[in-house]
């Protein structure tokens, strides 16, 4: 029974990672109607940046903060320099650019930091298992960090006028311009935020899976599955979907298919959702009258 | 002069729609822009607020705005209720209000909200409701309120009566009369319903295939039977 409870808690911990990345995917999807396949690679690069800061002797939380800021800037630059020129191009061009971005960022990370697996520190690792061995300090800490990030993002979009302007620009760019919103910059901010959220996810998962240039590949797949479950245009749904996939993956891995086949579970979920309900299980239904 | 337009040409891609328009909108009044379907009324409004490629001279209170980005033109005090209304369907009435005042930093946004409730009491009742679920008339009211919350110098309205029942149209024109009298904002009104528009307007221009063919005081145009017969069809 304890084993089962632990699988659930561990699932929630990794689910938080998927939820964060899923949220990053949804944010960019809402604004551009494209899925940023390179989100995982960008998060890996961010995690390597954090790693090199920690290696250079910078205290963990300072490195954490610095990485979030640098990642935000990288996200903004990617939108301004790479995405902006193709914003009106056909879908295939976008897919090409995303795949190009994925390869460039991935290879650049490998080239700069090498392909050997690195140990990434956890700020929560010092004290051993908690709650009678049910949960590790890192699981608890990383879940808390993830939740704080998700809540902050929610508060930002719900209550600040900049958050409202970003939503308006994503829903209806033409109308947004008419009220004076600089839509281009809102897009760039969205990319920056998504990159920053991805960076946090990367730093939280790296102590568990170890750090190498392909660290996020599988995670992106799970996150994508979570986003699809929740509905790719529904931020809250994507977050819930991410947690659900995390728990499901852990339970399936422990009791059904074994860890070897876990990734297959994600693929099965993706295909299943796409076939059965393309708008997602929690897909937002926009009520409108004409 | 509030708005001065000289030699305005605009179109879509290779298609030329406007062939050199000259017209003015005076401070604090209503100017009507009339014409048959496809005459270029919507295109004229789009050109003024920088939504399409434009040539010519457009000045807003003496400042040239031709070729500027839409968001910059809005920030200079030009509000536009486009055809299709331009409200944010997914967002609540409240959020649409907040967005209308997005670029303002003065402390009077709240009191302007109250003013909108006076003009559009129905919107107050619908405060938390998603804009997409409002009735057509309420959506048009929200669109006008959203535009006025910019505290514009000039308000462009594209067919506010479109698709609405006659009673609602009466209500909206009644509100527009109040806005004209109480707010001092200049209005450029595009309408299919020429009779209603000419009642409200001080001046009017008649557009035919991208050219202005008649202009003058609204009252005179209303009285002129030959103009009515040949251009307005009533
Ligand atoms: N997006 C567009 N792309 C290409 N041509 C367009 C576009 N919008 C309008 N046109 C053309 O421009 C001309 C003028 O259209 P416009 O919409 O300005 O007319 P209008 O006077 O507003 O008509 P209505 O009363 O039907 O709204 C028409 O011939 C129309 O086909
Ligand atoms: Mg029109």
Q: How confident is the model over B132-144, as a mean pLDDT? A: 95
CA B47/CA B190 separation, integer angstroms: 14
For residue A289, what pLDDT band results from cuts at 50, 70 and 90?
Answer: very low
Q: How confident is the model over A162-185, as a mean pLDDT? A: 95
Q: How confident is the model over B68-95, as a mean pLDDT? A: 95
Helix, strand or coil, per DSSP, at residue B57: strand
Q: How confident is the model over A241-268, as a mean pLDDT? A: 80
For the cut 90, the answer to whether the pLDDT of residue A264 exceeds it is no
Chain B residues 197-226 within an 8 A CB cutoff of chain A: none
Helix, strand or coil, per DSSP, at residue A91: helix
Q: What is the pLDDT of residue A249?
A: 86
Q: Say which range, A170-179, A180-189, A209-218, B123-132, has the weakest mean pLDDT.
A: A209-218
Q: Are B15 and B5 in contact (CB under 8 A)?
A: no
Q: What is the mean pLDDT of chain A?
A: 87
Query: Which stretches does DSSP call E strand in chain A?
Result: none
Q: Say which range, A54-63, A86-95, A208-217, B137-146, has the weakest mean pLDDT.
A: A86-95
Is A57 within the bounds of a domain?
Answer: yes
Q: Are B61 and B27 in contact (CB under 8 A)?
A: no
Can you say whether the dihedral through the CA atoms of B176, B177, B178, B180 is positive or negative? positive
Strands B78-81 and B203-208: unpaired
- Inter-chain residue contact B150 with A180, CB threshold 8 Å: yes
- CATH number of the CATH domain containing A113: 1.10.3470
Cα angle, residue A80 at apex, residues A79 and A82 outer, rounded to 5° = 65
CA A163/CA B140 separation, integer angstroms: 25
**Nearest partner of A24 among A271, A215, A193, judged by Cα:** A193
Residue B106 zone, left/alpha/beta (φ > 0; ψ -120 to 50; rest): beta
- Inter-chain residue contact A179 with B82, CB threshold 8 Å: no
Q: Are A223 and A43 in contact (CB under 8 A)?
A: no
**Nearest partner of A139 among A5, A4, A11, judged by Cα:** A11
ipTM associated with this complex: 0.93
pTM: 0.89
Alpha-carbon distance values, B224 to B13, B176, B198, B221 (Å): 37, 25, 12, 5
Is A290 within the bounds of a domain?
Answer: no
Residue pLDDT, tens place only, B192-215? 888 899 999 999 999 999 999 999
Q: Which residues have any ligand 1 atom within 6 Å of their CB?
A: B 12, 15, 17, 35, 37-43, 192
Q: What is the pLDDT of residue A130?
A: 65
Sole residue written with tokens 């209603």: B196
CA A267/CA B128 separation, integer angstroms: 40
CA B194/CA B167 separation, integer angstroms: 17
Q: How many CA atoms lie within 13 A of B56 on its CB side?
A: 23
Can you say whether the dihedral through the CA atoms of A41, A43, A45, A48 is positive or negative? negative
For the cut 90, the answer to whether the pLDDT of residue A283 exceeds it is no
Is any Cβ of chain A less than 8 angstroms from the Cβ of B75?
yes
For the cut 80, the answer to whether the pLDDT of residue A255 exceeds it is no
Is CATH 3.50.30.30 the right assignment for the domain spanning B3-77+152-232? no
Ligand 1 atom index nearest CA of B41: 21
Q: How confident is the model over B87-103, as a mean pLDDT? A: 96
Domain interval for residue A151: 2-122+136-276
The full set of domain ranges for chain B reads 3-77+152-232, 88-151
Burial of B31 (0-12, 13-18, 19+ CB in 10 A): buried
Q: Say which range, A133-142, A161-170, A213-222, has the weakest mean pLDDT.
A: A133-142
Q: How confident is the model over B6-27, as a mean pLDDT? A: 95
CA closest to B150 among chain A residues: A179
Q: How confident is the model over B156-169, as a mean pLDDT? A: 94
Is A176 within the bounds of a domain?
Answer: yes
CA A241/CA A235 separation, integer angstroms: 10
**Nearest partner of A280 among A235, A249, A248, A247, judged by Cα:** A235
Please give the tally of structural domains in chain A: 1
For the cut 70, the answer to whether the pLDDT of residue A139 exceeds it is yes
Q: What is the pLDDT of residue B5?
A: 97
Is any Cβ of chain A less than 8 angstroms from the Cβ of B46?
no
Chain A residues 127-166 within an 8 A CB cutoff of chain B: 161, 164-165
Query: Residue A150 is encoded by which pair of tokens?
Result: 């998700």
For residue A125, what pLDDT band results from cuts at 50, 70 and 90?
Answer: low
Is A286 within the bounds of a domain?
Answer: no
For residue B74, what pLDDT band results from cuts at 50, 70 and 90?
Answer: very high
């Amino acid at each position: 029974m304890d084993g089962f409870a632990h699988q659930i808690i561990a699932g929630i911990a990794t689910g938080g990672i998927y939820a964060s990345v899923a949220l990053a995917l949804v944010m960019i999807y809402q604004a551009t109607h494209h899925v940023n396949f390179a989100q995982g690679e960008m998060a890996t690069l961010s995690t390597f940046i954090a790693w090199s800061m920690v290696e250079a002797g910078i205290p963990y939380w300072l490195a954490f903060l610095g990485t979030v800021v640098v990642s935000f800037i990288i996200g903004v630059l990617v939108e301004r320099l790479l995405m902006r020129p193709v914003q009106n191009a056909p879908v295939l061009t976008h897919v090409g650019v995303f795949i190009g971005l994925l390869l460039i960022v991935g290879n650049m990370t490998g080239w700069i930091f090498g392909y050997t697996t690195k140990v990434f520190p956890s700020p929560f690792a010092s004290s051993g298992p908690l709650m009678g061995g049910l949960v590790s300090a890192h699981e608890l800490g990383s879940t808390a960090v993830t939740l704080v990030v998700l809540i902050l993002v929610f508060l930002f979009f719900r209550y600040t006028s900049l958050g409202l302007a970003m939503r308006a620009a994503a829903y209806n760019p033409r109308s947004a311009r008419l009220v004076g919103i600089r839509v281009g910059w809102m897009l760039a901010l969205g990319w920056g935020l998504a990159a920053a959220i991805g960076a946090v996810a990367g730093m939280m998962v790296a102590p568990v899976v170890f750090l190498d240039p392909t660290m996020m590949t599988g995670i992106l797949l799970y996150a994508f599955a979570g986003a699809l479950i929740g509905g790719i245009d529904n931020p809250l749904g994507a977050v819930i979907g991410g947690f659900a996939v995390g728990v499901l993956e852990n339970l399936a891995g422990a009791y059904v298919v074994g860890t070897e086949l876990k990734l297959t579970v994600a693929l099965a979920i993706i295909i299943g959702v796409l076939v059965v309900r393309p708008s997602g299980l929690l897909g937002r239904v926009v009520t409108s009258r004409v | 002069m509030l708005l001065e337009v000289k030699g305005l040409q605009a179109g879509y891609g290779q298609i030329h729609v406007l062939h050199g328009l000259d017209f003015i909108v005076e401070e604090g009044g209503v100017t009507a822009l009339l014409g048959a379907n496809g005459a270029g009324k919507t295109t004229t409004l789009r050109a003024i607020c920088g939504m399409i490629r434009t040539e010519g001279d457009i000045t807003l209170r003496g400042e040239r705005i031709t070729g500027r980005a839409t968001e910059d033109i809005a920030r200079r005090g030009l509000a536009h209720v486009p055809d299709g209304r331009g409200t944010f369907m997914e967002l609540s009435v409240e959020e649409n209000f907040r967005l209308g005042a997005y670029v303002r930093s003065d402390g009077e946004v709240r009191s302007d909200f109250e003013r909108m409730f006076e003009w559009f009491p129905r919107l107050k009742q619908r405060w938390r409701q998603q804009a997409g679920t409002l009735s057509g008339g309420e959506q048009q009211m929200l669109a006008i309120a959203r535009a006025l919350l910019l505290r514009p110098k000039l308000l462009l309205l594209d067919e506010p009566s479109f698709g609405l029942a006659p009673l609602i149209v009466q209500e909206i024109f009644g509100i527009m009369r109040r806005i004209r009298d109480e707010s001092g904002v200049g209005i450029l009104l595009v309408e299919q319903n020429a009779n209603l528009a000419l009642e409200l307007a001080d001046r009017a221009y008649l557009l035919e295939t991208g050219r202005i063919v008649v202009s003058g005081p609204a009252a005179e145009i209303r009285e002129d039977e030959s103009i009515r017969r040949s251009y307005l069809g009533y």
